[in-house]
Structure 1
């Protein structure tokens, strides 16, 4: 019964996805949905994209392992994305650009490195999240049927790739609205049921270890700093939210849609962490796989048909986030690498639409390899932050601190991203280095900051360097 209800939910998503794909006529609609989205739609698509299957599985696991200190990881992204919308939302929307690289190049002048490097780095970050959705789908199907997680990876990929390839952002946003409703109800009701099962909120908290009640908790200050950089500040360059700003019918609708969507995201994230804390209190002997807390209690605390509804919410999270990350990666790589650099803007919008659909298919299938190599949902989260960090400071400069492109030479911006990426990966893959700073995010950020600072000091004193000169020379 559980599987039947979940299948019905999936079929409804596919029907909605393919039906809405009729509105996609050219590449502009595929990437930005004709800029017609209202506040209500943006709230649901922001929320549905933010709470993916990785979060539905990973946040309870964090609450289970770290108590209240897990909120640093969970709330960092909503806080930073709200700041992003407030600080750069109007500028990005008014420029009518398509990608983050468009924004950078509009400030510093067209440059293939400033166009390609940010898009590749941000795409790698989003593909890590996409792989996390694959992994979560495989784990959930394994829990329900005993089937190999690899089978779940393939089934999940086939489902959301199909309508994303055809409809692009329009199909993603329409299905997000349906998935967001299921997701919000599922998280709320499971949270209430688990809290009641644990004897109430006060009883659960009093039954936790002392360090679980502290916001420093068992993780320590360095790890918390890594949380805010990895899941927080680096998310400033998380393109799905910029893309949704660009798809709004007005700048006001875009900014408020993102803000309110992030508020709902933060509340849901806290509820998921509290579910994990309740699981710790009720299972002092430990759970075999803490990432399975949400599906475990969905099945054990409710009738089969209700459990099917809640696990449908989990699959909603998988589909919505995966489709959003897939479409955003396609937009970045298709627009900035294929269209602007390789084809040099010689393709029409209709021709580019065909190209984008092929790119979407290639990216979706190729990401299966990442999910197979890194099955841990939380580890994929960490890798996502590592890849989003290199373009962070250059984007902040272009969007906030150097709007006229007069303070930092372009070469320093490109160098900072290259060195930051190398440093981040090095610290992440070498165990002895990773232990020093809890991964590659902090050293990657520091490396980029130092290079940009040198650029501002030595390049800023060059009075001949300006955006106008770059345009004349370029």
Structure 2
């Protein structure tokens, strides 16, 4: 089959629209930079903290509802070994966004942090916080890889071009407009992408459901016809795994810098809370087309379609089921609309994750550890170079997996098992933890997660837990909620290591010169916080002086002209 020229042209037009929006937003970024008192790097990372409410809602929703969310949900519903009851992403994100809005927004936004790692830096100092940057980076790179894999599968099916080529082109476009304008480019392109996603997917659903090769999805919801019912079922022995996946999404996702980048760009705490709660409802609405398309795929006699037999699941293409349905069950013009919607979903997540990881790198690693006296220009270059480097790494990783859902879950897995307990401790248990506890908890969770293995990467666990079993295809099913167990152990270990360190040094069981983290020094944490606040005030004063100086010089020029 030749390259789908019409489809290729439509994708190019879409990318040009996105690029145009990115260019416009970059100009807006420069104007905002001249008006506000924040530094250049802060404008790139969180704008001028003046995002309009409707823009913040759109960009927060688009960040959550990306390619992994859209295609992963369709994949799970279609998969005969899973089904709708295993589609935990919509419910998980709904709970997650509401939890963030109710409990996390106020302590983060009220202190005017720039990244979610700032509270770690305030509590533990620069060098220990730099260690925590690694799991944040891993999660963001896996996130980008999952959505790029989604786009590669889509374009290879509908346009008949190499998935590798489409992945590289899409990543290049996202990297380019993210480099141009930072948060403003990302936020305003998200508005366009979310609208295209919403209209495009809903436009495709009726055509897929009315295909002659498809029976009513109500008939196959609970009855086996072409495969197992698409509603699916949860056996008693699978409850642990289901709960584990649900908690991964609903609790583990509270750590993502992508989400806090939007929260920290709002003007008030109330606006940030409203943004989270409204985005939670919209994210559920946006997944409905994906669920319906997954159900349609499970209700289709593929032998009556141009796809033929064996079925997509039997060929290991369940991860690309959404574009396969658009290509083989819908008219060509409908599939073109669908690919635009999917490309929008993917791009809205790529740019967010790239800006997120680069912001953490530049502010909390490069500026804090590598070059403590780095200028604003140097920090901006660190952001831009890291966007490019992390984008290339994620692009390479996206070509190694067939499962969009698997890559996405692995991303959240890292945050849940390694980072989530650390964030809860530093925000809500700050008086009871110290740097020894943070380091001990990080080591404990990382070691336990490594020993638990990851079958999707070919890494087998070193132990057998209750509920573990081999599936008919030879893969290992881990039925025990080991990720949640690691999360709980991590919280306990942070508290225990903190108390143990305090006890051995205050009681004199270890000599004072061994206390490298100064746990015996009273008020050490408070002193670090005061120093951080003073530095923030100094940077604001310098910016204000610069702005006032420019205003005064302009006034003198006007007087001289008169």
> Same fold per TM (> 0.5)?
yes
- For residues 256-289 of structure 1, give each alpha carbon's deviation from its aligned partner in whole angstroms, at most 9, with x where no partner exists: 1122112111222244223212311224874242
- For residues 361-389 of structure 1, give each alpha carbon's deviation from its aligned partner in whole angstroms, at most 9, with x where no partner exists: 11111222322333432221232023212
CA RMSD of aligned residues (A): 2.8
Whole-Å Cα distance in 2 between the matches of residues 216 and 38 of structure 1? 43
Cα deviation, residue 55, structure 1: 2.2
Determine whether 1:452 maps to 2:507: no
Determine whether 1:7 maps to 2:25: no
| Higher Rg of the two aligned structures | 2
Alignment of 1:108-127 (within 5 A): 108-113=123-128, 115-127=129-141
Distance 1:385 1:213, change over 3 A: same
CA contact (8 A) 1:22 1:167 kept: yes
Whole-Å Cα distance in 1 between the matches of residues 301 and 451 of structure 2? 38
Determine whether 1:19 maps to 2:46: no
Cα deviation, residue 303, structure 1: 3.7
Alignment of 1:409-424 (within 5 A): 409-424=434-449
Cα deviation, residue 33, structure 1: 1.3
Cα deviation, residue 309, structure 1: 1.8
Q: Of 357, 361, 365, which aligns to 1:337? A: 365
Moved more, 33-42 or 296-305: 296-305
CA contact (8 A) 1:133 1:321 kept: yes
Whole-Å Cα distance in 2 between the matches of residues 219 and 124 of structure 1? 31
Whole-Å Cα distance in 1 between the matches of residues 497 and 94 of structure 2? 31
Cα deviation, residue 453, structure 1: 4.1
Whole-Å Cα distance in 2 between the matches of residues 29 and 137 of structure 1? 30
Distance 1:98 1:290, change over 3 A: same
CA contact (8 A) 1:47 1:264 kept: yes
Alignment of 1:96-245 (within 5 A): 96-106=112-122, 108-113=123-128, 115-197=129-211, 198=214, 200=216, 202-207=218-223, 213=231, 216=234, 220-245=238-263
CA contact (8 A) 1:423 1:440 kept: no
| Residue 394 of structure 1: aligned partner | 422
Whole-Å Cα distance in 1 between the matches of residues 111 and 141 of structure 2? 27
Whole-Å Cα distance in 1 between the matches of residues 355 and 103 of structure 2? 25
Cα deviation, residue 199, structure 1: 5.2
Determine whether 1:311 maps to 2:311: no
Cα deviation, residue 123, structure 1: 1.9
Cα deviation, residue 320, structure 1: 0.9
Distance 1:219 1:309, change over 3 A: farther
Moved more, 271-280 or 30-39: 271-280
Determine whether 1:95 maps to 2:111: yes
| Residue 286 of structure 2: aligned partner | 268
- For residues 296-349 of structure 1, give each alpha carbon's deviation from its aligned partner in whole angstroms, at most 9, with x where no partner exists: 2323444433321221010011111001101101111111001112111x2233
What SS does structure 1 have at the residue aligned with 2:110?
helix
Whole-Å Cα distance in 2 between the matches of residues 300 and 247 of structure 1? 43
Distance 1:440 1:340, change over 3 A: farther
Determine whether 1:249 maps to 2:267: yes
Whole-Å Cα distance in 2 between the matches of residues 61 and 196 of structure 1? 20
Distance 1:142 1:445, change over 3 A: same
Whole-Å Cα distance in 1 between the matches of residues 169 and 210 of structure 2? 35
Whole-Å Cα distance in 2 between the matches of residues 436 and 132 of structure 1? 22
Distance 1:119 1:52, change over 3 A: same
Mark the runs of 5 or more structure 1 residues left unpaired by the alignment.
none
Whole-Å Cα distance in 1 between the matches of residues 107 and 184 of structure 2? 23
Moved more, 168-177 or 423-432: 423-432
Alignment of 1:263-302 (within 5 A): 263-283=281-301, 286-287=311-312, 288=315, 289-302=317-330
Cα deviation, residue 178, structure 1: 0.0
Alignment of 1:349-388 (within 5 A): 349-388=376-415
TM-score under structure 2 length normalisation:
0.77
Whole-Å Cα distance in 2 between the matches of residues 268 and 248 of structure 1? 23
Distance 1:220 1:314, change over 3 A: same
Distance 1:290 1:373, change over 3 A: closer
Whole-Å Cα distance in 2 between the matches of residues 80 and 449 of structure 1? 19
Distance 1:122 1:359, change over 3 A: same
Distance 1:439 1:13, change over 3 A: farther
Distance 1:361 1:439, change over 3 A: farther
What SS does structure 2 have at the residue aligned with 1:274?
helix
Moved more, 197-206 or 458-467: 458-467
What SS does structure 2 have at the residue aligned with 1:34?
coil
Q: Of 354, 359, 366, which aligns to 1:326? A: 354
What SS does structure 1 have at the residue aligned with 2:117?
helix
Whole-Å Cα distance in 2 between the matches of residues 417 and 230 of structure 1? 18
Determine whether 1:431 maps to 2:448: no
CA contact (8 A) 1:49 1:321 kept: yes
Equivalenced residue count is 468
Whole-Å Cα distance in 1 between the matches of residues 195 and 328 of structure 2? 23
Distance 1:367 1:440, change over 3 A: farther
